[in-house]
Amino acid sequence: MQKLRQWLITSDLASIAILAIVILVVMPLTADIFRLNLIGKYLSYAFVAVGLVMLWGYGGILSLGQGVFFGLGGYAMAMFLKLEASDPETTKIQSTPGIPDFMDWNQLTALPTWWEPFHSLTFTIVAVMAVPAILAFIIGFAMFKRRVGGVYFAIITQAVALILTVLIIGQQGYTGGVNGMTDLKTMHGWDIRDDSSKYILYYANAILLFAAIFVCRMVQRSKAGTLLLAMRDKEDRVRFSGYDVANFRIFVFCLAAVLCGLGGAMFTLQVGFMSPSFVGIVPSIEMVIFAAVGGRMSLVGAVYGTLLVNFGKTYFSESFPQLWLFLMAALFIGVVMAFPNGLAGVWETSVKPRLLRKRVAAAAQPKSPPPPPATLPTTEAAPASPSGAGTSGNVGPATA
């Protein structure tokens, strides 16, 4: 029993197990389907936050453009769903039936060739991960090989986010413009809008999220994870130990991008549309806030952070819509100033030691009376009394 408690408090596997119970059992039992779908949407953002733990927390690389990769994954999935929703039968009132409605409105008369492969679900699933990875590789290669880092890298990722938003909005005929891709209905004939599929998608999303957490945990525990931490603090030492620092940064940037892409695809499936408002600078920064609040060194913390900030956002933006952005900014500044390691940091430094101390004290208390009183008081009471009578009773068994 004691061991189980110890394990629950200290092991990282236990913290993942507790998170699993919260997400897989508690949430579905307590929330109605509308709320659960909302939570599912938040959990699709959690992929981004988990990716940021790897990229920002471990790799020390702050990207303010993760929305780009989230959007690419989301759009790839949306393109597949949109094509399926645009069969000639349902679009027969269009001047060109069989193409997505927004193309028809923009006087396109044929499906662009780069849309064609998105008829295939397999291709789409590959694209959800590969497109963000390829873009991340190109950006990462160009930046990290030239040793661009820190603020400069953050600014460049932000510029990329802006560019992609402008591109999506400007190319209305190909992307649906500012409205995004809406009216997504089925996936291989399976209606994604009814309650049962929302449950299924929620669980698919949750399981995928845990898979992502485990992959990241594996990376963290490998030598690559150690190296990421090492090069965050002592870049030159790593380089002069024979490692190509840039390659490790490119890798972790691509890993984070793939996770974003998956999150984006799950978002599209659960919410039923995708638009540029999830791609640009503001959502990208919000995603960084999720990770910061949860704790940028903790995979599990990032998920809690995402949930918490989004609950807050939903609550406050319903009650005080004008104040929300200010609250969010205040939250970010407050967290970074007061708790640089977020909720997970507070847990590690304040809650966990206290819990452990209580356990140890509780375990030591019943055991201390049995030993013969002749030896104990003479050896222990003498040095304890000058340090203060009030604390000696507490400190003695706890430190023993």
Partner 1 sequence: MSNTDFVLAVEDLTVSFDGFKAIDNLTLYVDKGELRVIIGPNGAGKTTLLDLICGRTRSSTGSIKFRNEEMTTLAEHQIVRAGIGRKFQTPSIYENLTVFKNLEVSFPRGRSVFGALRFKCTPDVKERIETVADEIGLLDDLQKEAGLLSHGQKQWLEIGMLLMQEPELLMLDEPIAGMSVRERELTAELLKRICVNRSMIVIEHDMDFVAKIAHKVTVMHQGKILAEGPMERVQADPKVIDVYLGH
Measured CA to CA, the distance from residue 273 to residue 342 in angstroms comes to: 32
Element (H, E) at 186: strand 186-187
Nearest CB to partner 1, comparing residues 154 and 224: 224
Measured CA to CA, the distance from residue 76 to residue 67 in angstroms comes to: 14
Measured CA to CA, the distance from residue 63 to residue 65 in angstroms comes to: 5
Q: Nearest distance from residue 250's CB to partner 1, in Å?
A: 8
Q: What stretches of 145-194 show up as alpha helix (H) in DSSP?
A: 150-170, 172-175
Nearest CB to partner 1, comparing residues 53 and 64: 53
Nearest CB to partner 1, comparing residues 242 and 366: 242
116: tokens are: 């064609």
387 DSSP 8-state letter: G
Q: Nearest distance from residue 157's CB to partner 1, in Å?
A: 21
Nearest CB to partner 1, comparing residues 36 and 246: 246
Nearest CB to partner 1, comparing residues 50 and 274: 50
Q: Is-contact 269 1, C-beta < 8 A?
A: no
Angle of helix 66-85 versus helix 281-294 axis, rounded to 10: 120
Q: Nearest distance from residue 221's CB to partner 1, in Å?
A: 10
Nearest CB to partner 1, comparing residues 184 and 259: 259
C-alpha dihedral (139, 140, 141, 147), degrees to nearest 10:
120
Q: Nearest distance from residue 215's CB to partner 1, in Å?
A: 11
What is the binding site for partner 1 (CB under 8 A)?
219, 222-224, 226-227, 229-230, 233-234, 236-245, 247-248, 250-251
User: How distant is the alpha carbon of residue 313 from its chain centre?
Assistant: 16
Q: Nearest distance from residue 237's CB to partner 1, in Å?
A: 4
Q: Which of 211, 279, 270 is nearest to 64 (CA)?
A: 279
Nearest CB to partner 1, comparing residues 140 and 283: 140
Element (H, E) at 276: none
Q: Nearest distance from residue 238's CB to partner 1, in Å?
A: 8
Q: Nearest distance from residue 217's CB to partner 1, in Å?
A: 13
List, as one string, the DSSP characters of 5-43: HHHHHH-HHHHHHHHHHIIIIIHHHHS-HHHHHHHHHHH
Nearest CB to partner 1, comparing residues 99 and 254: 254
Measured CA to CA, the distance from residue 135 to residue 306 in angstroms comes to: 25
Q: Nearest distance from residue 236's CB to partner 1, in Å?
A: 7
